[in-house]
Amino acid sequence: MPATQPNLLIVQTDQQSTWTLNAYGGTVAATPHANRLATEGVTLHQCITPHALCTPSRGTFVTGRFPRCHGAWHNNAPLNQNERTFAHQLRDAGYRTGYAGKWHLDGSPKPGWVHPQRGMGFDDCEFMFNRGHWKKIEEWDNVGQPTCFPDRAIGDERSYPTDWLTGKTIRFIDQHQAEPRRQPFAYMLAIPDPHGPFSVREPYASMFDPGQMRPPDTFTQENLPDWAIAERYAFDNPDRERELRRDMAQYFGMVKHIDDCLGLILKRLEDHGILENTVVVFTSDHGEFMGEHGLSEKNRVYETAHRVPMLIRWPQRLTAGQVVRQHVSLLDFAPTILGLLGVEPSGREQGRDASPLLRGQDVEWDDAAFIAADRPRRVGVFTPQHQLAYVEGADTVLFDRVNDPEQTRNLARGPEHADTVRVLTRKIRTYFSEFEESPMDLDWLPD
């Protein structure tokens, strides 16, 4: 392997919407360090997760395969142990691999500290835990695994999980740089914030005033699909807006804290003189409904849950300030990052190598991203103009993403849009028919 082979650092957050970041138009919290990745790197403007739920999305991210194929198709389902992740490929190519933070691909154990034999290519996985959203983690001498405290316990600058995991990442970088003969590293930091519960340590807990938080314009929307009406955000609760404002203030506090910790990591890479030769990725597994369409959490077919941030900085090869506007799926991440680093994929990936787009090359690209999920069954497609999504036994939705970006007008039943629905339905059928390994039953879709 050439001595100049770049390092790779991935920071993945949990349930962070694009609208939280300045690079995507966010104005509430200042996120200068994520913004630095955008201004000095590449912003993927339309990055879509195929399944807006933690476990399925994370499994797809590391394997480049759809959830029904990699096995982790619902929360707490384990990843098939015969899967090949991008970490396997990088390790075999001579990289030192590591991971700290939430994994959520090892079944039901909680916290479930992951043993090396189940690290799925991430060899340094001492601080990889399966799942949980505690607010305090501490290590004790001669005790073994760290202690995760109940939700009401809030850690400090060392024990709050975002700080604690950032410290482990910086320690990994320092140890790597202390080695006399260094191989390139690939390290992934998976921060469990800003996922609920909505609380964060000071000073971030008091940084944003709930009274200044503005609920989304669609918070009280009533013309909703039937599947959204059944799950809307405590719609009959008279205190729902006050509670939402409180949650938003804490959510933005977590976002600001994450960005500050990202800044510490970038500074340490800079101090060691390796930032310019490190590919830095910032992303999330899916978005968060913070009152949009009267909803909370995730796992519905609206864009809010499926569109995720994706910022990639590598000054040696990627043009600063470039924006990729074609649709790129998290399904495409594994083959893309391997392609960018010049490492062979496993051959099992179902996603596309988007590294030519990152390099600014003019390549043929089907500008669409597909979604699919179970419980209930859902399929859909995002294109530059439209989003079409089917929910089995419930309302179909068609949105004009250009003229109705907040997705308030469902066009699916309008006769003037029948041709659009037919064309996109055919596109969905054609796309999923190619997955012979785990064929999808689409007989419930209209012709």
Q: What is the pLDDT of residue 1?
A: 40
One-letter identity of residue 88: H
Q: What is the pLDDT of residue 296?
A: 92
DSSP secondary structure code for residue 309 in this structure: -
Q: What is the pLDDT of residue 233?
A: 65
Asked if 158 and 165 count as a contact pair (C-beta separation under 8 A), the reply is no
Residues 6+ away with beta carbon under 8 Å from 351: 64, 65, 329, 331, 332, 333, 334, 335, 336
Q: What is the pLDDT of residue 438?
A: 66
Give me the phi and psi of 259, to 5 degrees please: -65, -40
Residues 6+ away with beta carbon under 8 Å from 169: 9, 100, 187, 189, 265
pLDDT, tens digit (0-9, with 9 covering 90-100), for 226-263: 999 988 766 667 899 999 999 999 999 999 999 999 99
Asked if 218 and 40 count as a contact pair (C-beta separation under 8 A), the reply is no
Of 323, 281, 289, nearest to 307 by C-alpha is 289
Domain annotation for the chain: domains and CATH numbers: 7-367 (3.40.720.10), 371-433 (3.30.1120.10)
The strand pairing partners of 49, in sequence order, are: none
Distances 353 to 58, 201, 295, 365, 436 between C-alpha atoms, Å? 18, 39, 34, 10, 20
Asked if 62 and 334 count as a contact pair (C-beta separation under 8 A), the reply is yes
Q: What is the pLDDT of residue 436?
A: 64
The strand pairing partners of 289, in sequence order, are: 297
Q: What is the pLDDT of residue 234?
A: 62
Q: What is the pLDDT of residue 434?
A: 83
The verdict on whether omega for the bond into residue 180 sits within 30 degrees of 0, i.e. cis, is no
Give me the phi and psi of 155, to 5 degrees please: -75, 180
Give pTM, 2 decimals.
0.97
Instruction: Kindly tell me the burial class for residue 256, based on how many C-beta atoms sit within 10 Å of its own C-beta (0-12, 13-18, 19 or more).
Output: buried
One-letter identity of residue 25: G
Low-confidence ranges of the chain (pLDDT < 50): 1-3
Q: What is the pLDDT of residue 53?
A: 97
Distances 421 to 213, 279, 339, 377, 435 between C-alpha atoms, Å? 37, 40, 34, 18, 22
Q: What is the pLDDT of residue 235?
A: 65
Of 283, 228, 285, 333, nearest to 53 by C-alpha is 285
Distance CA 306, CA 17 (A): 9
DSSP secondary structure string for all residues of 240-307: HHHHHHHHHHHHHHHHHHHHHHHHHHHHHHHHTT-GGGEEEEEEES---EESGGG-EES-SSSHHHHE
Distance CA 9, CA 171 (A): 13
